[in-house]
Amino acid sequence: MAAHQITFTINGGQETALVTSHTTLLSLIREQLGLTGTKNGCATGECGACTVLLNGEPVNACMVLAVEVDGAEIVTVEGLAQDGQLDVLQQMFVEHTGTQCGFCTPGVLIMARALLDRNPNPSDDEIKDALRGNLCRCTGYVRIIEAVKAAAKAGG
Amino acid sequence: MKEKAFVIGQSVRRLDAVGKVIGEALYPGDIDMEDQLWMKIRMSDRVHARVTAIDTRQAEAYPGVVAVLTATDVPVNEYGLIMPDQPVLCGPGSSKAGADIVRCISDQVALVIAESEETAAVAADLIEITYEDLPAVVDVMQAIADGAPQLHAHAKNNVLNHYRIRHGDINAGWEQAEVIVEGEYHTGYQEHVYLQPEAGLGYIDDEKRVTVVVAGQHAHEDREQVAHALGLPEEQVRIVYPAIGGAFGGREDMSIQIALALAAWKLQRPVKVVWSREESIIGHHKRHPFTIRARWGATREGKLVAAEAEVYADAGAYAYTSTKVTGNAHLMVNGPYEIPNVKVDTYGVYTNNIPCGAFRGFGGPQGAFAAEGQMNKLADALGMDPVQIRALNVLEEGSITSVGTPLPPGVTLSKVLAEGAAQSDYWHKTGAGWARISPTEQPTTPAKRRGIGMAMGFKNIGFSFGAPEENWATVEIHGDAKIERVVVREAGADVGQGAHTVFAQMVADGVGVPLDKVEVIGHDTAETDNSGSSSASRMTFMAGNAIKTAAEQALEKWRSEQRPAVATYRYVPPKTTPYDPETGRANPNFAYGYMAQFVEVEVDIETGHIDVVRVVSAHDVGRAINPQQIEGQIEGAVVQALGYAIMENLVVKDGRIQNPFLSTYLIPTIWDIPRETKSVILEYADPRGPWGARGMAEMPFIPLAPAIVAALHDATGIWFDHIPLTPESVVSRLREHNIGVI
Amino acid sequence: MPMPAALDRENPSVLVMPGPGLPAFDYVRASKPDEVCDLLLQHGDNARLLMGGTDILVLMRDGVLAPKILIDVKHLPGMTTISFDPAGGLRLGAAVSMNTMTAHPAVKQHYPLLAEAAQAVASYQLRTRATMGGNLCNASPAADTAPAALVLNARCVTWGPDGERIIPVGAFFRGPKQNVLMPGEFLAFIDVPIPPPGWVGRYIKLGRNAGGDLAIVGVAVLGYPDANAASGCRFRIALASVAPTPIRVPEAEAILANMPITGETLERAAPAAQAAARPIDDLRGSARYRKAMTRNLTRRALDDVWAGLRKEG
C-alpha cells in the first residue's frame, strides 16, 4: 500500500502530510489534521455536510482522495473567519438563526461562500441551485436562504 | 427589585450559534481520546432466527482486534424504554431467557473492539453466526391472525397493546347520523435522517464511572438503561451529551449507548463508534406505519354524532415507545372535536419489521391523517365549508373529549382556527359562517391543477397516561455585592431546537439579569438532575416551570444574603391517568398545543408531482419566549411533514430496508420546500405554562399531510387516503379516475 | 465489468454494511496516455480510471468494486481542456468537470443543451468533480448527459494500445453499466460537432423530488429546420433511464420528419417514444410509470422545442 507525501495549503497555512492512496480528503481534514468542523453525514457525496473549498471550488470532501490535493488550496469552515472576525455569512447565520442542530451548517456556509464569490447578488433560485446538495433536516431551509440573502446584501 | 423582563419574547441569538458557524461545536463523532479503541457493531442478518452459535475465533485472532463481546458478556441482557423486551446482544448463553433470538435485522449480535476503525469493521465480518431460521411475520394483519409466528411470550397474537374507547352510545350515534363517511387510511414509515449519524465514545472517568459521550434526548433515561444492562448502580454510570446533531424522536431509544458502555466497562479503555448513514438508517427505529379504518357520522347541520375507528400500528420487533405512540393516536384519531358517541380500538402489533418508536408528533400525525381526512370528507359530503364544520365541532373550554374528560384549562382551538383561517388569506367569515374568499384560481397549463385545503389538530405537551413526569432545575446566583454570574443546571437536551437559549432567557428573566450573565450547564448526568426527555414538545413548558420557581427561590436566598444563592426545584405537573381498559376514560394529558394549517398545492396530473405552493401554519404557543426560534420550528416541521406526506418512502421488504441511503431514501432538498411558509403565532397563555408558554415543536408537523390531501381533493376531486403521495402513487390514483395518464 | 445485482443501490437484495472508508488501493498519477494503456492491460479489471471519482469512489466505498489501482488521468495532456472551433465544433477533455463545462463561454453560447443536461446532475459541489466523460463511461442507463450527447451526435475519442478510435456516442454503450471500450483503451475526448443551424434543444428530467435525484426518465430533444424533411423540420429524441442504455428513438423521429408538424403530430410522436422504452422496475419507479412518463415528457420536450423553433423561425 503506497504512502504519498503531499503538501497543500489549508485555511491559509501550509501543511505536509503522509497519506495512503485510499485516504479521502475528508479523513485527512478530520482525522489527520483534527479539523472537525467539516462533518461526515453520509460518506458518499449525498448530504453536503463535508463540503470544503478546493482551489476555490466547493467539493464533497468525502469524494476526493487526499493524494489529489497535493499542491492545492483548501478552505474549511474553520478558515472562513479572518483574524477573529466572522465572515459576513457566519454573522448572518447567527443573526437569522440559519443554524439549529448545526451539523449541516459548515457545509452550507462553504457552499454559500462559493456562491457569493462567483455571484455576489444571487436570486432565490440561484441560492436554491447552489444549496441543492446540502441537506438540512432542522430548519426547512427558510432561514438559510434568508441568511444568505442578508449576507449578499451586506456586501457578501 | 427585579428588573423588568427584557429577554422573554425576544428573538435573542442562540447561545451556541457562533460555535456552530465557526466549526468549533463538538458533536460526538468529533471527540477522541488518547488510547481509544474502535468498535463495530455486528447486526443480525436475519429477521427472525435463533442464534445457535457465534464463532468469534477468527475475528479475535485478527491482528489489532482487542475483544469480541457477545450475549454472554452482558450482565443483564435486556433493555427497552417501556419494557425490557430486547436483548442488548442476541445470542446463546445469555443471562436472560429468549435472548438467543433475533427478531429483526437491527438486532445487535456482537461487538468487535479493535485498535482501528477499519480493523474492527473487517473483523466484524469474520464472525460466523449460525442461525436456525424461525418463521417470520412482517404484516400487521397476518401478525394478529391465529396461527401467526409469535414474537414474544407476553404478547398473545403479537398484540403489544389494545386500547378501547367506549364513549356514549355508538349505536344511538349511528341512528342520529344523517351523513356518514368512511375511509381506510394508510401512513408509511418515516426515517429521522438527523444529519449526524449515531456516534459516541465510552470511557471510565476520573471517578470510575462508566461514561458515555453520545447524542441523545434524555441523558438520565440513557443512564438508567445503561446501568440496568450493566448491572451497575446509576451513580456508577454517567451520560454526557455534547452538541446533538438533530434528534426528532430518533434518539429517544437506545442505539449505541449500551454497547459503548459495555465495551468501555469490560476493557477499561476508551471506545469509540461512528455509524455510517446506512447503519443509522437500519440501526434505529422509525415512525410507525398505520392502518386506520374510520367511520364518522354527522347531522345535516354538520354536528358530529358518531365516530368509530380501528387503528393498527406496526410496532416492529420490540416495544420501544409503541404503547405511548399508539396511545396518542388512539386519542387523536378522534380529532380535536366534541363527539358524543365514540368507539375506537387501537392495536400496537409486534412484527419482524424494524422497530418503530418516537418521531416528531408521536402518533399524532397518523391519528390526524385519519381524523382530518374524515372531517374534510364530511364537509365535502355535506356541501359545507371545511373551516365552518370545524368551527361547529371543535372542543371548547369544558367540552368533554372522547375519553370522557375535558381538556385542561386554556382551550383555544376555535381561536386558532378562526385566526389561522383569517390570516391564511383564503377564508373569511361571513354572516353565514366561514367561507372561501374565492374559488381556487387554476393555472393556464392544463397539466397543472391547483387546490387549497386545511386541517387542524391538538397535541399533548409532556408525558401522558400516568407516566411519571418531572423536571429538575438548579439556579445558582454567584457574586458578592452585585450578581456577577447566574448558573442554571438543567439536563433538558438541546437537540438543535434551541432549548438552552430558551432556558437562559427564562433564567435571565427570572433572576433579572442580562442574558450574558447566564451560564447553562446542561445534559451531563454528573452535573444535573433528571429533566425528562426532549420530546412531547415538553421542554419549554417543563424546564420553564422548574427554572421559574428555582430562579425565584434562588433570588429569595440572594436577598437573604446567601452566597452563592442556590435553589433546586422539581416541577411536577398535574397528574395524568392511563386509559381505562374497557371505556378508555382517562385524564390523558396536562397540557396541549393547538394548531391549524392552510395549504395551497399544485399537482402535475401528468407526472404526479405535487408542489406545495404555500403553507400558513397557525399555532397557539401560549407565550413566544423566542419568536424566531418558534418560526424555525414551524418552518422545519412543515418541511419534515412535507417529506412525510409526499416524498419519504422507506421501502421495507420481508423485514429488510431496501433504501438505506440518502440517494434512495429522499428527504426534502432546498428545492422541495413550499414557496412560502407563513407562521401565525398566537399567544393565549396556558394557565399552567411558565410565562404562559405552551409547547409547539411537534404541532406544525401534524396537520400538514391531511391538509395537503384536502388541497389535492380541491384540485382533482379525488381523495387520497395513502401517504406518502409519491408521484407514481398519485398518477396511479388519478388513473383510476381517468385523470392525467390514462 | 457488470455490477453484482445484489449490491446495486437501486435494486438491493442483501444488506450492505461497508467499512468506514475506502478499501486499500494504489493511486497512480498518469502523465502519458501510453502509461495508462499499459497499466490497464497489465491489471485488467483490477485497474480503474479516476477522473471525478464521484461514481467509482461510491462503488468502492459500498464494497461493489475493489480495484487494486486507480489511475488518475486528469493530468494527461488535454484531459481537462475545452476547445472550440467554429468549423469543427467542441472538443471536451474527458476529465473536464461538469461545472467547468457548464461555465465555458463556448458551451453556453453554442451548446446550452449540454449545460442544461449537466446541471440536472446531483449537486453543484458534486459537479465540481463529476465529468461528462465519466458519466458516459459509467454507461448508466440514467446518465443525464447521455441523451444530450446522443441528440448532439457526439463522438467518443478513445486512446488505446492501437491508437485513437472514434466511436459515435450511439455506439458507445453496450448494456447497463457497460461500454464498448476494449482492454487497455480509455476515453480521452468527447467531440461535439456544430449542431445544425437554427437548432433548439431541451432536456427534461423527472426525479422523485425537485432536485438532485437520479432520473426516473430523462428526455432530450433537439430540433432544427431542414428543407429536405417533408415536415420542414427534423427532431432528434433520446431517452435516459428507460432502457438498458440511453437510446435514440428513430421511430418517433421519423414521424416528425415525415408529417407536417402540428399538435397532433407531436401527440403521435410521444407514444412512439413510449413504445421504444423498455424500462425496468426499481426503487425509483415501476416500468409502467416510466413508460407513461416517457410519453408525457417526450411530448413536453417536443412542445418546448417546437415553440422555440417557431420563435426562432
Q: Do A92 and A67 share a structural domain? A: no
Whether C43 is covered by a domain: the verdict is no
- Asked if C12 reaches chain A (Cβ–Cβ under 8 Å), the answer is no
Q: C-side interface with B, Cβ within 8 Å?
A: 9-10, 12, 15-21, 206, 208-214, 216, 283-286, 289, 292-293, 296-297, 300
Whether C122 is covered by a domain: the verdict is yes
Three-point CA angle B344, B136, B283, nearest 5°: 85
Provide CB contacts within 8 A for B400, sequence distance 6+: B338, B406
Closest Cα partner for C157 from C137, C139, C174? C137
Q: Do C216 and C181 share a structural domain? A: no
Provide CB contacts within 8 A for C146, sequence distance 6+: C135, C136, C169, C173, C238, C240, C246
Q: What is the mean pLDDT of residues B331-351?
A: 98
pLDDT for A1: 57
Q: Do B95 and B74 share a structural domain? A: yes
Q: Do B497 and B389 share a structural domain? A: no
Report whether B520 contacts B528 (CB < 8 A).
no
What total of structural domains would you count in chain C? 2
Query: CA B384 → CA B379, B391, B424, B598, B719, distances in Å?
Result: 5, 11, 19, 17, 16
Q: Do B300 and B278 share a structural domain? A: no
Report whether B113 contacts B38 (CB < 8 A).
yes
Which of C137, C169, C192 represents a domain boundary (last residue)?
A: C192
Q: Do C226 and C124 share a structural domain? A: no
| Single pTM value for the model | 0.97
Q: What is the mean pLDDT of residues A44-49?
A: 97
What total of structural domains would you count in chain A? 2
Whether C26 is covered by a domain: the verdict is no
Instruction: Determine the structural domain holding residue B73 and report its residue range.
Output: 31-134+195-246+251-283
Q: Do A37 and A54 share a structural domain? A: yes
Provide CB contacts within 8 A for B383, sequence distance 6+: none
Q: Do A45 and A24 share a structural domain? A: yes
Whether B3 is covered by a domain: the verdict is no
Q: What is the mean pLDDT of residues C212-240?
A: 95
Q: Do A72 and A11 share a structural domain? A: yes
C211 pLDDT above the threshold of 90: no
Q: Do B85 and B207 share a structural domain? A: yes
Count B/C contacts: CB-CB distance under 8 Å.
77
C1 pLDDT above the threshold of 60: no
Q: For B459-488, what is each residue's pLDDT tens digit?
A: 999 999 999 999 999 999 999 999 999 999
Q: Do A143 and A123 share a structural domain? A: yes
Q: What is the C-alpha separation between C75 and B338, in angstroms, rounded? A: 73
Whether C31 is covered by a domain: the verdict is no
What total of structural domains would you count in chain B? 3
Q: Do A68 and A99 share a structural domain? A: no
Q: Cite the beta strand spans of B335-445 per DSSP E.
A: 342-350, 427-430, 433-436
Q: Do B390 and B347 share a structural domain? A: yes
Q: For B688-705, what is each residue's pLDDT tens digit?
A: 999 999 999 999 999 999
Whether B576 is covered by a domain: the verdict is no
Q: Do C280 and C238 share a structural domain? A: yes
Q: Do C184 and C90 share a structural domain? A: yes
Q: Do B128 and B114 share a structural domain? A: yes
Q: What is the ipTM of this complex?
A: 0.98
Instruction: Determine the structural domain holding residue A136 and report its residue range.
Output: 88-153
Whether C62 is covered by a domain: the verdict is no
Q: Do C235 and C210 share a structural domain? A: yes
- % of chain B residues with pLDDT over 90: 99
Q: Do A111 and A59 share a structural domain? A: no
Q: Do A73 and A93 share a structural domain? A: no
Q: What is the C-alpha separation between C114 and C98, in angstroms, rounded? A: 9
Quote the cell numbers at residue C103. Answer: 461555465
What sign results for the dihedral spanned by CA atoms C118, C122, C124, C129?
Answer: negative
Q: Do B588 and B710 share a structural domain? A: yes
Q: What is the C-alpha separation between B562 and B566, in angstroms, rounded? A: 8
Q: Do B728 and B634 share a structural domain? A: yes
Whether B92 is covered by a domain: the verdict is yes
Q: Do A102 and A75 share a structural domain? A: no
Q: Do B431 and B535 share a structural domain? A: no
Q: Do C123 and C185 share a structural domain? A: yes
CA torsion A18-A22-A25-A29 (nearest 10°) is -50
Closest Cα partner for B332 from B165, B188, B535? B165
Which of A23, A56, A79 represents a domain boundary (last residue)?
A: A79
Q: Which residues in chain A touch residue C50, judged by CB atoms under 8 angstroms apart?
A: 65
Q: Do A148 and A97 share a structural domain? A: yes
Quote the cell numbers at residue B21. Answer: 458557524
Whether B337 is covered by a domain: the verdict is yes
Q: What is the mean pLDDT of residues C39-65?
A: 95
| Residue reference for cell 418512502 | B649
Q: What is the mean pLDDT of residues C188-214?
A: 94
CA torsion B627-B628-B634-B635 (nearest 10°) is 160
Query: Of A20, A67, A133, which has the smallest distance from its Cβ to C126's Cβ?
Result: A133
Which of C176, C192, C208 represents a domain boundary (last residue)?
A: C192
Q: Do A68 and A10 share a structural domain? A: yes
B127 pLDDT above the threshold of 50: yes
Q: pLDDT class for C8, splitting at 50, 70, 90?
A: low
Q: Which residues in chain B touch residue C9, judged by CB atoms under 8 angstroms apart?
A: 661, 663-664
Q: Do B536 and B667 share a structural domain? A: no
- CA atoms lying within 13 Å on the CB side of residue C246: 30
Whether C72 is covered by a domain: the verdict is no
Query: Of A44, A45, A65, which has the smallest distance from its Cβ to C27's Cβ?
Result: A65
Q: For A59-108, what is each residue's pLDDT tens digit?
A: 999 999 999 999 999 999 999 999 989 999 999 999 999 999 999 999 99
Closest Cα partner for C161 from C28, C33, C49? C33
Q: Do C89 and C187 share a structural domain? A: yes
Q: Do A60 and A19 share a structural domain? A: yes
Q: What is the C-alpha separation between B656 and B48, in angstroms, rounded? A: 11
Which of C192, C208, C240 represents a domain boundary (last residue)?
A: C192
Alpha helices in chain C (DSSP H): 33-43, 56-61, 98-103, 105-110, 112-119, 124-127, 132-138, 145-151, 250-258, 263-276, 287-312
Whether C139 is covered by a domain: the verdict is yes
Q: What is the C-alpha separation between B12 and A154, in angstroms, rounded? A: 20
- Asked if B18 reaches chain A (Cβ–Cβ under 8 Å), the answer is yes
- % of chain A residues with pLDDT over 90: 96
Q: Do C242 and C164 share a structural domain? A: no
Whether C155 is covered by a domain: the verdict is yes
| DSSP assignment of B680-712 | EEE----TTSGGG----SSGGGTTHHHHHHHHH
Distance of CA B484 to the CA centre of its chain: 39
Q: How many other CB atoms sit within 10 Å of the CB of residue A94? A: 20
pLDDT for B741: 77
Report whether B92 contacts B54 (CB < 8 A).
yes
Burial of B665 (0-12, 13-18, 19+ CB in 10 A): buried
Q: For B625-684, what is each residue's pLDDT tens digit?
A: 999 999 999 999 999 999 999 999 999 999 999 999 999 999 999 999 999 999 999 999
Instruction: Determine the structural domain holding residue C92 and report its residue range.
Output: 82-192
